[in-house]
């Protein structure tokens, strides 16, 4: 049964993930051979610093010439765990041209240029797999591409960045501010020295682009994804969320429009109810909800990063690519036949939680409510809270329906109004906020946050 | 690009799942064709009662002659949603012999005879897929077989039967007894008129066998699975669990032994801590934890039954089988190369929660503790509680460590002892309970339940 010709695999990059991939390939070789139907032979490992100590990595396999490695012509699969756009894009293209399938963990490249990479793989009759690019070890790409291939996915909603989830979880559980929580994440190794990609939402946006494209069988790039990071989330926002029975998470949300003619993809902080399963996703874990017409609501949960979990996803793809090479076939390629356009953020229908600093005098609530009505935004609840002395007693924390905006605040000083809207287009919500800012009685907009998961 | 020859698909069975499969194939035909690369043609639907009204099912496709249908010779894929062992086994075998791949939702057949079906499929160069056989719409089989193909799974722990989870959830939230909760499940359609397969654990045991075989790359049949249903779970058990900060779930647990040389598979009610994600799985939902060496802990959650969710899983397999037919290839077949034996329940290492009715007199705790020590079972906690008047005050609900069994109950009447053990082989735990029953001072063993998920 077992073919004797080994499958030749080259590795591009040997950092945390690459070392773990090497370790598994070398220590689990008998299992991998049995599962694939032929043994794997590590043909070479391209690295920048060949003299760095890498425990368990055979030194004789190391090379600094990645281009020569992918040009060998005898490779079955190239595993890319370098990251970034160039020189990786060129290396992957070269690997395809020389007949190798590619397994990549590169969310940035796939989110920027997935379509052309898929086209090149198809042209050369090889596979392009990238389960590790989204949510580490959690099987998501394969379930979306294959298990749900006969279903209609309407929504993907998830926590796909462990660093930001760690920071928000810290802020939620300890009351810490953003900077303090970021410092702790950095000290513990959850955040990189330059945390921009994580905290500004670029990493999550890349994953959202990949997930949206696969879920809706269309093409979505990172440029199509509305992106807001969490750097402006304050301890006060987290406290406001708690008052509403919510917590704050940085969510990636991909949705099919109700008329089915377009899709949206976005990443931003949002309040979600504590009863929502995503609310209890702690620390650096990831979890993704998938809502499909027949399947209903599915959730996938697990470690979203780290050397070993990411290596697990890479190895799963490597086994699949090797099996296909042995069978002289390829797996399902890109499916982008729906060609659904990506709508801008303004078309997204969502809810807002808005905190306003207002003058504490008669008619303010009526004025504010009128602005909402003018933009066709329906108010769910209003909570008004005095700031000056003599206020804040019986009105404190009291949520009140605001039918027609006839409420009246006590006179004198300043107060705050917390408004939660019903669902409305994001453009209408933004316009409402812009109008509110022009009111004399509105001293400032303290915070705006979307409410999701209800 | 699109091939014009349609793929011919026959359906065996047209009940709740079959009708939904038919509906999706007929209403989503353009999407399915785009995803497969060729259209699907429904060639025939075998039913027992052709005159029954089935909305949306083309009457001209119905036939009562399932054998003739699978013998047509021009079928690409046969979808089997009849269930049970015969005549289904013969029909599937005949389909293979006539060159058709098979998609089945039949857990009983796969758990009884999966190995020979896999061998027949391989012999005839066709696929056998059965994602729908375990946990409805939740992708589990494909992630285990493919996404985790490069990892080492050590444990699968899950709620795989919605009926029993509904019943236990009811008992937990309302304090209802088993019969009352079962009646409600029946009235709401969550339990069948004859609930035996669910409440005695046969359904979950079949799924455990399938999961264990795939997770550990070996062969496990339902006969290898230790099985206890939930008919003996009482309201008192649920109350005891609550006192421990636990809830009771019917769990399917598949484990690799620590020495890696054998596996176990079992289904039984167990207490799990409320902090465990499985504790919050409500109603008829399913959820499965997978623990793998590199990936860590993954969880898969979703609707475990129902026409539409099961149809979603069937359709995913159908698309895969059709793609393979078009590419003249097959997917990965059975992987049972480890040939790991299945150990008996006695070898499972677990914890017990035991409630004893004891004489309320001096030395009882010492006697009881001695029995545990004789069987090398270490006690974690003991809670003693008086039943007769004059007891139950300060000792009530007080958990106390029992170092050496020097405790002493107050004199007179009867009392109860609740013992929670550390981890020990199930055989030692059973032997301990048997010895306890022989003690004069032990009037009865009120309940025994395993504690998992810690």
Which chain B residues touch A32 with a CB distance below 8 Å? 150
Query: Any idea what DSSP says for residue A146?
Result: I
Which chain B residues touch A319 with a CB distance below 8 Å? 146, 149-150
pLDDT tens-digit series, residues B274-296: 988 899 898 889 999 999 999 99
Asked if A45 and A115 count as a contact pair (C-beta separation under 8 A), the reply is no
Q: How many CB atoms lie within 10 A of CB B346?
A: 14
Out of A32, A312, A319, the one facing B294 most closely (by C-beta) is A312
pLDDT tens-digit series, residues B92-119: 999 999 999 999 999 999 999 999 999 9
Which residues 325-344 on chain A approach chain B with CB closer than 8 angstroms? 327, 329-330, 332, 335, 337-338
pLDDT tens-digit series, residues A138-153: 999 999 999 999 999 9
- CATH class for the region spanning A348-451: alpha beta
CA A427 to CA A434: how far, in whole Å?
10
Compute the average pLDDT of residues B407-413: 52
* pLDDT band (50, 70, 90) for residue A87: very high
Residues of chain A with CATH 3.30.360.10: 144-303
- CATH class for the region spanning A144-303: alpha beta
* pLDDT band (50, 70, 90) for residue B5: confident
Asked if B151 and B293 count as a contact pair (C-beta separation under 8 A), the reply is yes
Handedness of CA A201, A206, A207, A212 (dihedral sign): positive
Closest-CA residue of A relative to B302 is A298
Average pLDDT over chain A reads: 92
Residue A219 has pLDDT above 80, yes or no: yes
Out of A131, A149, A335, the one facing B316 most closely (by C-beta) is A149
CA A152 to CA A210: how far, in whole Å?
17
CA B248 to CA B45: how far, in whole Å?
42
How far B96 CA lies from chain A's nearest CA (Å)?
20
SS (H, E, C) chain B: CCCCCCEEEEEECCCHHHHHHHHHHHHCHHHHHHHHCCCEEEEEEECCCCCCCCCCCCHHHEECCHHHHHCCCCCCEEEECCCCCCCHHHHHHHHHHCCCEEEECCHHHHHHHHHHHHHHHHHCCCCEECHHHCCCCCCCHHHHHHHCCCCCEEEEEEECCHHHHHHHHHHHHHCCCHHHHHHHHHHCCCCCCCCHHHHCCHHHHHHHHHHHHHHHCCCCCHHHCEECCCCCCCHHHHHHHHHCCEEEEEEEEEEECCCCCCEEEEEEEEEEECCCHHHHCCCCEEEEEEEECCCEEEEEEEECCCHHHHHHHHHHHHHHHHHHHHCCCCCCCCCCCCCCCECCHHHCEEEEEEEEEEECCCCHHHHHHHHHHHCCCCEEEEEEEECCCCCCCCCCCCEECCCCCCCCCCCCCEEEEEEEECCEEHHHHHHHHHHHHHCCCEEEEEEEEEECCC
Which residues 281-320 on chain A approach chain B with CB closer than 8 angstroms? 292-303, 306, 308-309, 311-316, 318-320
- pLDDT number for residue A148: 96
- pLDDT number for residue A409: 45
- pLDDT number for residue A178: 96
Residue A395 has pLDDT above 90, yes or no: no
- pLDDT number for residue A413: 79
Q: Considering only CA atoms, which of B322, B120, B149 is closest in space to residue A315?
A: B149
Q: Is A323 on the interface with B (CB under 8 A)?
A: yes
Residues of chain A with CATH 3.40.50.720: 7-136+308-326
By CB atoms closer than 10 A (0-12, 13-18, 19+), residue B80 is buried
- pLDDT number for residue A412: 60
pLDDT tens-digit series, residues A25-67: 999 999 999 999 999 999 999 999 988 888 889 999 999 999 9
- pLDDT number for residue A4: 67
Residue A2 has pLDDT above 70, yes or no: no
Between strands A263-273 and A442-451, the pairing is: parallel
- pLDDT number for residue B389: 39
- pLDDT number for residue A275: 87
- pLDDT number for residue A54: 86
- pLDDT number for residue A384: 84
From residue B213, alpha-carbon distances to A12, B86, B340 in Å are: 34, 22, 9
- pLDDT number for residue A402: 38
Which residues 96-155 on chain A approach chain B with CB closer than 8 angstroms? 131, 137-139, 142-143, 146-152
Compute the average pLDDT of residues A92-107: 98
Average pLDDT over chain B reads: 92
Q: Considering only CA atoms, which of A303, A308, A274 is closest in space to residue A286?
A: A303
pLDDT tens-digit series, residues B330-387: 999 999 999 999 999 999 999 999 999 999 888 899 999 999 999 999 999 998 876 5
Domain B346-451 architecture = 2-Layer Sandwich (3.30)
Counted across chains A and B, CB pairs separated by less than 8 A come out at 186
Contact A32 B295 (CB under 8 A): no
Which chain B residues touch A318 with a CB distance below 8 Å? 150
- CATH class for the region spanning B141-304: alpha beta
Which residues 6-25 on chain A approach chain B with CB closer than 8 angstroms? 20, 24
Residues of chain A with CATH 3.30.70.260: 348-451
Q: Is B156 on the interface with A (CB under 8 A)?
A: no
Active site residue: B107, B170, B207, B249, which one? B207
Asked if B296 and A308 count as a contact pair (C-beta separation under 8 A), the reply is yes
Give me the CATH topology for the region B7-136+308-326: Rossmann fold (3.40.50)
Residue B389 or residue A418, greater confidence: A418
CA B110 to CA B320: how far, in whole Å?
19
CA A383 to CA A405: how far, in whole Å?
12
Compute the average pLDDT of residues A358-365: 89
Residues of chain B with CATH 3.30.70.260: 346-451
Residue B323 has pLDDT above 80, yes or no: yes
Residue A388 has pLDDT above 70, yes or no: no
Query: Any idea what DSSP says for residue A345?
Result: G
- pLDDT number for residue B407: 41
How far B362 CA lies from chain A's nearest CA (Å)?
47
The 3-state DSSP composition of chain A as helix, strand, coil percent (nearest 5) reads 35, 25, 35
CA A286 to CA A203: how far, in whole Å?
13
* pLDDT band (50, 70, 90) for residue A387: low
């Amino acid at each position: 049964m077992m073919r004797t010709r080994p499958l030749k695999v080259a590795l591009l990059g040997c950092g945390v993930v690459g070392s773990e991939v090497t370790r598994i390939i070398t220590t689990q070789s008998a299992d991998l051979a049995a599962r694939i139907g032929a043994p794997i032979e590590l043909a070479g490992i391209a690295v920048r610093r060949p003299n760095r100590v890498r425990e368990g990595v055979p030194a004789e396999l190391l090379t600094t010439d990645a281009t020569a490695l992918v040009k060998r012509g005898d490779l079955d699969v190239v595993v890319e765990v370098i990251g970034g756009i160039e020189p990786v894009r060129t290396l992957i293209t070269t690997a395809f041209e020389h007949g190798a399938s590619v397994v990549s963990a590169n969310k940035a490249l796939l989110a920027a240029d997935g379509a052309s990479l898929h086209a090149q793989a198809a042209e050369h009759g090889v596979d392009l797999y990238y389960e590790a690019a989204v949510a580490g070890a959690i099987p998501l790409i394969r379930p979306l591409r294959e298990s749900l291939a006969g279903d209609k996915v309407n929504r993907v909603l998830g926590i796909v960045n462990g660093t930001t989830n760690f920071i928000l979880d810290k802020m939620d559980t300890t009351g810490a501010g953003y900077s303090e929580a970021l410092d702790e994440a950095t000290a513990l190794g959850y955040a990189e020295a330059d945390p921009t990609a994580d905290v500004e939402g670029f990493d999550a946006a890349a994953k959202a682009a990949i997930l949206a494209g696969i879920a809706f069988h269309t093409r979505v790039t990172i440029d199509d994804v509305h992106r807001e990071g969490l750097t402006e989330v304050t301890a006060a926002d987290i406290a406001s969320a708690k008052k509403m029975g919510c917590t704050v998470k940085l969510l990636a949300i991909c949705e099919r429009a109700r008329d089915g003619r377009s899709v949206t993809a976005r990443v931003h902080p949002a309040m979600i109810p504590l009863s929502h399963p995503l609310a209890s996703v702690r620390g650096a874990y990831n979890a993704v909800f998938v809502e499909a017409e027949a399947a209903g609501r599915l959730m996938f949960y697990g470690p979203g990063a780290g050397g070993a979990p990411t290596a697990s996803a890479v190895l799963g793809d490597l086994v699949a690519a090797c099996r296909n090479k042995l069978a002289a076939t390829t797996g399902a390629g890109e499916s982008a036949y729906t060609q659904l356009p990506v709508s801008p953020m303004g078309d997204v229908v969502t809810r807002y939680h808005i905190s306003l600093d207002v003058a504490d005098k008669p008619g303010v609530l009526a004025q504010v409510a009128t602005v909402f009505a003018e933009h066709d935004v329906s108010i769910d609840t209003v909570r008004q809270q005095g700031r000056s002395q003599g206020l804040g007693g019986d009105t404190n924390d009291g949520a009140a329906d605001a039918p027609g905006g006839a409420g009246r605040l006590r006179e004198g000083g300043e107060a705050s109004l917390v408004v939660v809207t019903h669902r409305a287009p994001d453009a209408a919500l933004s316009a409402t906020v812009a109008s509110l800012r022009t009111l004399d009685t509105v001293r400032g907009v303290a915070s705006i946050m979307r409410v999701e998961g209800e």
